[in-house]
Structure 1
Amino acid sequence: MASQGAETTTAATTHADQRPKSLADFDPPQKPKRNKYAFACAMQASMTSILLGYDIGVMSGAAIYIKKDLKISDVEVEVLVGILNLYSLLGSAAAGRTSDWIGRRYTIVLAGAIFFAGALLMGFATNYAFLMVGRFVAGIGVGYALMIAPVYTAEVSPASSRGFLTSFPEVI
């Protein structure tokens, strides 16, 4: 008999603890709101990937005129156009330590300034060696930007949208 009374008490308290369900209880869980600041930062940081595409596009169109004006060989034109990838490797190797030293945001600003200086050097180049120095400086800036922009985006983004926001450089 004692065990039968305990079962009824447990069943009675279980039914008494439950409140009636409302319509809102059946709604799917709400997604967290998007962080507009993180979205804007991710968009701006992913714009740095445009630097590489811009440089390659401009150089492929300008290579014909550079060859004619500077009277350089086909091999020199090939080296001039393709060397940016090697130089950007050097820039990306230095970007990690620099970003630890001055911060991610300022490293992106530094990358843009370095690329701008390289573009100015290439624009004012009068011979092949001067043009290669400009390519070197621009390549360092591109390497910095391509290395640090995804890191900055990942650090600014909330965990709920980090994967979405860090994929922007691949889209742009």
Structure 2
Amino acid sequence: MGMRRTLPQAVLFDRDGTLVVDVPYNRDPELVQPMPGAARLLDGLRRRGVRCGVVSNQSGVGRGLITPAELAAVSARLDSLLGPFDVFMYCPHVVGDRCRCRKPQPGLVLDACLALGVDPADSLVVGDIGADMGAAAAAGAAGILVPTPVTRPEEVASSEWVAASLEQLPEMLWGAPW
């Protein structure tokens, strides 16, 4: 049984570990590698008129490990491989900064929805860790967890919706594979 039968207006994806293979503090566009099923899922959403965006914590910027230009280059590579994305929202802060945007805070999701002109209640956040689900819930959006080996068991247990892979999302959410 899927969580809804109508498409959301927007799907906001975590970047590392969800859309692309996680390379910690990646500053090299050549290392951007899409996760299995990402291109097909995004193409299907776009064909159906769903806006697609990226919401990503990037503390490497705040730590001085990634320059804004390097982040922009990685984003451009992501856009060339899996885009066009309607919005990119990144939090550059570190944990201690107490910002409103670092997931699980809702700021990235709220800002992305505002930029798209979409009600958070009509959006879906897809991510691989509990912070992604926390941000979705705090913003009033639906969330679906797609676990990887780094996802903690308690994050899986506490998530209302869990998909084994990006390929599983259409059938799980809308009752039919694409």
Higher strand share: 2
Larger radius of gyration: 1
TM-score under structure 1 length normalisation:
0.24
TM-score under structure 2 length normalisation:
0.23
